[in-house]
Chains A and B, each alone.
Chain A
C-alpha cells in the first residue's frame, strides 16, 4: 500500500514547551484515528502535517512530497480546523464559493461544488444566512463542508464531530466511512473515544507529545502484557463452569459476581482461553447468556497505555 503521510523523527517545540517529540510513522489509505487527551499534541501533529507549522526537527511528507512550501499539494488535501472561526459578515454560501474560487475553479464549478458540499452536510436551506447566525452544530458542518468540497484525496480533521448532535454525528461518521470506501485517506483527531471507535479500528495514540501506540485497537490490546484480558461470562452455573479453567495455566484469576450468575476471568492468552471455552460450551452443559470482554476497547487500551 502506498504511504500517504510519512513523518521521520518529527518534533516541535514552542519555545521551551514540547509540542511533539520524535514521531516517526507512516499513514496509509483508510481512516486513522488520532487519539489523545487535551494538550497531547494532536493538533500540533495535524498542523505539522498540513504545513501550518514548521518542524523543529525531522520531516513530513505527504503523497511522497515535502509539505513545507508545497502549496500545490493542497489541491489534494482538505483540512477541517479545530477553531470555531469564520469570516464575519459572510453567508455560508459566500464562504464556500469563495474558498472554491481560491482553488482555481470557475464560478460555475465553484457553485456546483459548494451546492454538493452543502447538501452533504444538510446546510442547503441555511446557505444564505449569515454564518454568525448559525448554531454551533451548523458552523461545525460548514467547516466540514469546506474541507470536502474540492473532493480531496486526503482529509485531515481536527475534532470534526465536536458540537454536533448524535444524529448528525452518525451521518458524518457514515460519510467519513464512505470516503474510505472511495479509497481516500482520512485522519481524524478526537479526545472522545466512542467517536474514534465508531470510525475506525486503526489508531494512533498520542500523549504528552509522544506516540504511544499505532495500529489496530485489538492488536495493541494484545500487546499490553501487563494487563491480562478480562472476560465476563453470564451463565446459569458459573462455579461449575469455572472449575473447567482452574487448572489452565493462562487463567490468572477468577472472580464470582454477587448475583450468583456471572464470573470474571483474567487471562494472559485470550486465544487459548477462547479455544478452551468454545470446547467446554460445545458440550452443551451450560446455558450461557453473555460473553463480553470489558477491557477489549479503546478506553481500556488508552487507560493502560497512559498508565504505563
Chain B
C-alpha cells in the first residue's frame, strides 16, 4: 500500500473507531435516567416563556414583544445557566465517569486508539446536549412568538440556535479537557462557569475577551436596551468572523489537549 493510501486508511480507521464509540455512548446517554432529569431541567426556559406569555394574556397588555423577551431573558437563561450546567456535567463525565465508575479498563483494552474514545464520547455528549437545548429552544421560541412568526423571527431563532450550539461545542471541549486532566474537575468547572465566566464577561476592555461567553455574545444581534439587557451590558463585541475563529480554535485546541492527556496519563482508581 502506498503512503497516501496508508494515511487515508489510518484516518478512515480513526474515524470509524470514533464512530463506534460515539454510537455506543450516544445510545447509552439517551436511555440514562439522568438524561431525562436534565432534559426536564433544560425545559425550564419553556416553562418561563409560557408563564410570561400567560401573564401578559391575563394582564391584558396591548402588545407582547416576544422577540424582546426571547433575546433578553431566555437567552440569558440558556447562555448563563442551561448550556453551562449541561456542558459541565457531560463534558467532565467523558473521562471522570469512566475513572470514578472503574469502567475505563473495558475501553482501554479494546482495539481503539485512545483519542477516539475521548472524541467519540465528546461527540455523543455534544449531540445529547444539542438535542436537549435545541428542542427546548424551539419550544421557548414558539411559546413567546406564537402568533407573530415571521421569516425574520425564524432567522433569529436559527441565529440564536447557532450561538448556543457554538457554546455547547466550546464549553464541552473545555470541560472534557478539565475532566481528562483533573481529579476534581467538577469544582474547577463550577469555579470557571459561575466565577470566571460570570464575572469577567462584564470587565471592560480586552479582559472580557478572556471568556468564552464574550465571543458567543458577539454573535447576538444588537439587543434593544431595556431593563433586561444583561447580555449586552458592557459588551465590547468582537467581529463575528474572528469570534468564530477563536471559538473554533478553543474547541479544537481543548479537544486536542484532552486527547493528548488521555493518551499519556495513567488513571489510577481511588480505593
A, B in one complex: yes
Q: Kindly list the 9 A-B residue pairs having the minimum CB-CB distance in the complex, ordered from nearest.
A: A85-B102, A79-B109, A75-B111, A83-B102, A102-B110, A74-B111, A98-B24, A81-B105, A74-B109
- B28:A102 contact, CB within 8 angstroms: no
The closest CB in chain B to the CB of A87 belongs to: B103
Q: Assess whether A304 is interfacial by the CB under 8 Å rule.
A: no
- B101:A87 contact, CB within 8 angstroms: yes
Which parts of A66-121 form the interface with B (CB within 8 Å)? 69, 71-75, 77-79, 81, 83, 85-90, 94, 98-99, 101-104
- A85-B102, A102-B112 known; 12 other A-B pairs, CB under 8 Å? A71-B113, A79-B105, A81-B105, A83-B102, A86-B103, A87-B101, A88-B101, A89-B28, A89-B33, A98-B27, A103-B110, A104-B16
- B24:A71 contact, CB within 8 angstroms: no
Tell me which of A73, A81, A88, A101 contacts B23 (CB under 8 A).
A101
Q: Assess whether A52 is interfacial by the CB under 8 Å rule.
A: yes
Contacts of A89 in B (CB 8 A): 28, 31-33
Contacts of B203 in A (CB 8 A): none
Q: Assess whether B20 is interfacial by the CB under 8 Å rule.
A: yes
- B108:A54 contact, CB within 8 angstroms: no
Contacts of B23 in A (CB 8 A): 101
Tell me which of B27, B101, B112, B266 contacts A71 (CB under 8 A).
B112
- A51:B112 contact, CB within 8 angstroms: no
Contacts of B108 in A (CB 8 A): 50-52
Q: Assess whether B114 is interfacial by the CB under 8 Å rule.
A: yes
Residue numbers of A with Cβ under 8 A of B are 14, 50-54, 69, 71-75, 77-79, 81, 83, 85-90, 94, 98-99, 101-104, 146
A45 shortest CB reach to chain B, Å: 15
User: Could you pull out 15 A-B pairs where Cβ atoms are within 8 angstroms?
Assistant: A53-B266, A71-B111, A71-B112, A71-B113, A74-B109, A79-B105, A83-B269, A85-B101, A89-B32, A98-B28, A101-B24, A102-B107, A102-B111, A103-B110, A104-B111
A110 shortest CB reach to chain B, Å: 10
Which parts of B17-70 form the interface with A (CB within 8 Å)? 17, 20-21, 23-24, 27-28, 31-33
Contacts of A90 in B (CB 8 A): 28
Contacts of A53 in B (CB 8 A): 266
The closest CB in chain A to the CB of B116 belongs to: A71
Complexed CA–CA distance, A90 and B28 (Å): 8
- B20:A104 contact, CB within 8 angstroms: yes
Complexed CA–CA distance, A86 and B104 (Å): 10
Complexed CA–CA distance, A87 and B27 (Å): 13
Q: Which of B20, B24, B27, B33 has the most CB of A within 10 A?
A: B24
Contacts of B105 in A (CB 8 A): 50, 52, 79, 81, 83
Complexed CA–CA distance, A69 and B110 (Å): 12
**Given known contacts A85-B101, A85-B103, A86-B103, is B24 in contact with A103 (CB within 8 Å)?**
no
Contacts of B269 in A (CB 8 A): 83
The closest CB in chain B to the CB of A102 belongs to: B110
B259 shortest CB reach to chain A, Å: 13
The closest CB in chain A to the CB of B102 belongs to: A85
Tell me which of A52, A69, A94, A104 contacts B109 (CB under 8 A).
A52
Complexed CA–CA distance, A87 and B32 (Å): 10
The closest CB in chain A to the CB of B117 belongs to: A102
The closest CB in chain A to the CB of B120 belongs to: A102
Contacts of B32 in A (CB 8 A): 88-89
Q: Assess whether B268 is interfacial by the CB under 8 Å rule.
A: yes
Complexed CA–CA distance, A97 and B33 (Å): 21
Q: Which of B31, B102, B109 has the most CB of A within 10 A?
A: B109
Contacts of B266 in A (CB 8 A): 52-54
- B101:A99 contact, CB within 8 angstroms: no
Contacts of A69 in B (CB 8 A): 263
Complexed CA–CA distance, A146 and B31 (Å): 22
Contacts of A103 in B (CB 8 A): 110-111
B33 shortest CB reach to chain A, Å: 7
Tell me which of A73, A78, A81, A102 contacts B20 (CB under 8 A).
A102
Complexed CA–CA distance, A83 and B268 (Å): 12
Contacts of B28 in A (CB 8 A): 87, 89-90, 94, 98
Contacts of B102 in A (CB 8 A): 81, 83, 85
